[in-house]
Amino acid sequence: MSMIMLLLLFNLMLTASYEFEYFQMVQQWAPTFCSGIGVTCKVQPPQNKFTIHGLWPSNFSNAKLICSGGDLQQNKLPHRLSTKLKKHWPNLKCGNDFDFWRYEWRKHGRCSNPPLNPNQYLHTTIRMYLNYDLLGMLNAAGLSPSTTFRQYTYMENVLKNAIGAVPSLRCNVNSQSNEDQLYEIVICFEENSTNLIDCTYAPGNCPDWFVW
């Protein structure tokens, strides 16, 4: 076999070796998350902040990934990491923060192992979050949270221009006003967790107009 063929084969093995094909990095807007139907949050009123919901290894086909493997262990989290996690990945509902991280790891995170072990998964999520300050980007474009109706394509374009890839906007329904409101923004990354890609395979569910 020629060297080229060996290299090609090796490359194929590398790219086909994971359970997933890309990442959805999901952030939630605390106020609208908490005012959604059926949600009770422990801190009222919640901060005007995007916080981490989770990092979801995903397939382009939207196939549900079934993952197995080790658990997250509280006593294995370095202090500096858990301090960051508490700040940026809080459990907004009742229940402690660690339980939320462990839930996300069990449901999604394990599918990213390999290549990411539990602590690498948590670190990667924090890095993605800190690298893309969604609120700062929206503010820079003159958008700040209010009860104003926004147009999907407008807000999508503002973020697309800022990050260079199409995000997905997800809405829930406000328990008092019954209006559709933006409560999650998803940005997508390639399998190698550094390059952004369009979230084409995980489309948003907001209507053309919604409140944020």
Ligand X SMILES: *[C@@H]1O[C@H](CO)[C@@H](O)[C@H](O)[C@H]1NC(C)=O
Nearest alpha carbon to residue 163 among 202, 196, 129: 196
- The piece of 13-21, 45-53, 90-98, 177-185 that touches ligand X (CB under 6 A) is 13-21
Tell me how far apart the alpha carbons of residues 127 and 123 are, in angstroms, rounded to a whole number: 6
Residue 62 engages ligand X in binding (rule: CB under 6 A): no
- Amino acid found at 128: M
Per-residue DSSP letters for 84-130?
HHHHHS---BSS-HHHHHHHHHHHTGGGGTTT--HHHHHHHHHHHHH
As a 3-state breakdown, the chain gives helix, strand, coil percent values, each rounded to 5, of 35, 20, 40
Residue 21 engages ligand X in binding (rule: CB under 6 A): yes
Report the residue number, 61 or 176, with the smaller CB distance to ligand X. 61
**Interface of this chain with ligand X, residues 126 to 165, rule: CB under 6 A:** none
Residue 195 engages ligand X in binding (rule: CB under 6 A): yes
CB of 58 to ligand X, least distance (A): 9
- The piece of 3-11, 38-46, 57-65, 80-88 that touches ligand X (CB under 6 A) is 57-65
Tell me how far apart the alpha carbons of residues 205 and 180 are, in angstroms, rounded to a whole number: 10
Tell which one of 36, 39, 49, 59 touches ligand X (CB under 6 A): 59
CB of 81 to ligand X, least distance (A): 21
Q: Is 33 strand, coil or helix?
A: helix
Binding site for ligand X (CB under 6 A): 16, 19-21, 59, 63, 65, 190, 192, 194-195
